Structure 1
């Protein structure tokens, strides 16, 4: 397996996600200072709607990713893939038309109708662009997907900075340029995939049969992804429904910040899967051990970032100071959700255990939902609502790595004990001690942890560099 190629692809992906994170931070931390409460609410509503647009692909993009994963471009059947692309475009237009009809039904006020209309437009741009994005990653051409992400972010960042400098307070402008940026990345993807578009088409019956095959293959992965996102989503819904929009805003800020970190790290899974599909089992096992050991050592160090980030953001947004209590509660997600994204999802895909992944995520969602209901209606505690979601994610990570280790006939979960211990120490320190005292304690614990695991990290790094 070409580890250098994997690291090269991942470095570009990391840069792309870093830029995406910058844009996300700007929209989360600066835009609220410019927009009124209502306008910012509509902007957030649009972003919320776009989060679940992948549902309208019915899993076709995910199926193409799984079926074509590991193939080179010259090994793919371009006619068949082009035919599936146009089938998807067809039913995306149908879904978009239904959404437009809902928006124009007269049930909603003008601003909400605008948001729904732009969601329909964004559905077409996003899902059609993602078809080629997933295909590029499946063919181990992750750099192309990363470049399209960079184009998307840059084309939104430029007008965003202008709007921030000029103090533009109309949320419609932000939504419009957000869609324009997606159009630019779609144009890039179509250009880089033009050999597929020029290859011709198979007959209509075969096109629908192939599309159905991809949907059947990818629907479990899509549902698993949606279930995974709802682990926190259901907790946010309960807060919004029972504590009101102000508490929801405070919690959402903490969720957004941790989500940036998780998205940044989990991009690795999309880069690793195509290469690992080509690898022999021994290579896959070795890479699993190397990657999981490296994550064991590196990820707990993110706890050191909590105090500086909390202090900086409290200074910048003092009205959100209460948010950072939840930020501390959610920090373990940066470790265990990231592990799930990089190691769990990737190797379950490699093992073609999509059904197992779906079952794991549904079970985790069930645990989170149970805590959400109990925390809301019995204890009336947001801490229990989100604490349950975090606990569910930790259990999911432990079980998944135990399961993968069993499939590979290696024992791995015991080595995660260090991450669990550091997490417990972080939770106790932040709960009982002042901010900077807790930071000193956590920093010392992380330093000791790093020193004692230095050999393990060097071993993993040497294997990845080989």
Structure 2
């Protein structure tokens, strides 16, 4: 591994994700301040639906991701990938027409509009995903980052212009999102223009290639889809039984609690193609990366305190839902571990089947907890605890599975992390913010001091990986 190149790739993704973080933060802080709770709820519903449009490429791009991860762009068969782009575009257009037809049958005009626009977003997103996957698997992280930056920057500018013009409709916000996706897609076409603008040859071998990509990628697709559903099931339960307004408020809290995942995604993005190319023992990389990651995530929880101090004052309409950040913020630790350690290393070791089973189990567990709460407890606080519980169980089981293949055992460290997270939730939920801050910082200092040698050693070894 070229550590300089790795750090450079990290800098690209972190820069782009930092911009995404800034844009997301400003949008999260400004939009709910200026538009009504009902409109904000519908806007969040659209964002919620668009989270799942990726399933409609049927694992096609996931198969490409797994089969060609770590390849060099210049060595790719451009004609072969052109055929995959053409065929997948035809598939997306066909499926979109079906979804649009369904939208006309829905009586609720707002939901009908949202589903219609989701179909349009599906085409743009999935075609964009094709180019993003190509750039990622060939380790063109700079272009990948530029794709993200361009879309998010244009989106932010449009949102600002819309709000400055005094427009407060969620429908216009959706149009802004779609326009930004069109701009990003155009950049993706430009980056891979020698792959797109080449002679079209739809031969029998192209259909066989498509079939192979789908059959291999479907497991990873369903695993990723199930991963999104883990929280999605609970969010759907909130929308269905507590209404759009409460759904919007909780979505805001989830968005804020998930801000740390921006950086987690950056690391995960760079790691997969890099791990596929290196020759060093994967177990060593895993153990080094794990201690570094956990330390950073525990430090990241400090961000909760200034956010909880400022946001209730800035968004008083959402004060009743912002209290749940004490419960939801630690989900970044479990979700972060899952995305970087479990998800990335399972894909590198080609454990898609195990990943699929784990995520399906997590969705079923999430669904059971949601049904129990909706029909028995009917308690929103319990729903929030369910999110962290499900993510914690998924992360724990995932690590146990991975340890079996890597032949390691970090059970004591795992139990310590769970204990610290539980401690964080308890002190922030039950105690005054200032007292909670002092108590958590004290425990964090003890953790860092007691693990100082191990952290220093991990950083040193990680730099020497090749």
Cα pair 1:296 1:416 within 8 Å, conserved: no
Instruction: Report Cα offsets for 1:167-188 as digits up to 9, x if no partner.
Output: 3213332222211111111111
User: TM-score w.r.t. structure 2 length?
Assistant: 0.94
Of the three residues 439, 442, 458, the one matched with 1:441 is: 439
Give the SS at the match of 1:321: helix
Structure 1: distance between partners of 2:385 and 2:344: 26
In structure 1, stretches of 5+ residues that fail to align are: none
Structure 1: distance between partners of 2:116 and 2:22: 27
Structure 1: distance between partners of 2:259 and 2:126: 21
Give the SS at the match of 1:23: helix
Q: For residue 99 of structure 1, report the CA deviation from its aligned partner.
A: 2.4
The corresponding residue for 1:190 is 189
The corresponding residue for 2:94 is 94
The corresponding residue for 1:452 is 450
The corresponding residue for 1:139 is 138
Q: For residue 309 of structure 1, report the CA deviation from its aligned partner.
A: 0.8
Q: Does 1:68 align with 2:58?
A: no
Instruction: Report Cα offsets for 1:360-383 as digits up to 9, x if no partner.
Output: 111112222222222222222222
Cα pair 1:418 1:449 within 8 Å, conserved: no
Cα pair 1:401 1:412 within 8 Å, conserved: no
Instruction: Report Cα offsets for 1:125-175 as digits up to 9, x if no partner.
Output: 111111010111011112211110000001111122222333321333222
Q: For residue 100 of structure 1, report the CA deviation from its aligned partner.
A: 2.6
The corresponding residue for 1:260 is 259
Pairing of 1:21-420 with structure 2 (within 5 A): 21-103=21-103, 105=104, 107-108=106-107, 110-280=109-279, 282-420=280-418
Give the SS at the match of 1:200: coil
Cα pair 1:12 1:143 within 8 Å, conserved: yes
CA 1:236–1:202 in 2, change beyond 3 Å: closer, same or farther? same
Q: For residue 214 of structure 1, report the CA deviation from its aligned partner.
A: 0.9
Instruction: Report Cα offsets for 1:70-91 as digits up to 9, x if no partner.
Output: 1111222221111111100011
**Which is worse superposed, 444-453 or 147-156?**
444-453
For the aligned residue pairs, the C-alpha RMSD in angstroms reads 1.9
Structure 2: distance between partners of 1:8 and 1:101: 46
Cα pair 2:141 2:270 within 8 Å, conserved: yes
The corresponding residue for 1:5 is 5
Structure 2: distance between partners of 1:148 and 1:266: 15
CA 1:49–1:395 in 2, change beyond 3 Å: closer, same or farther? closer
Instruction: Report Cα offsets for 1:415-462 as digits up to 9, x if no partner.
Output: 233322211221221233112111111111112212222222212222
Structure 2: distance between partners of 1:37 and 1:330: 21
Cα pair 2:52 2:228 within 8 Å, conserved: no
Give the SS at the match of 2:168: coil
Give the SS at the match of 1:289: helix
Cα pair 2:327 2:429 within 8 Å, conserved: no
**Which is worse superposed, 373-382 or 284-293?**
373-382
Cα pair 1:296 1:418 within 8 Å, conserved: no
CA 1:165–1:41 in 2, change beyond 3 Å: closer, same or farther? same
Structure 1: distance between partners of 2:211 and 2:262: 29
Cα pair 2:20 2:262 within 8 Å, conserved: no
Structure 2: distance between partners of 1:379 and 1:159: 42
Give the SS at the match of 1:352: coil
Cα pair 1:70 1:274 within 8 Å, conserved: yes
Instruction: Report Cα offsets for 1:366-416 as digits up to 9, x if no partner.
Output: 222222222222222222223233122112212222222221222233323
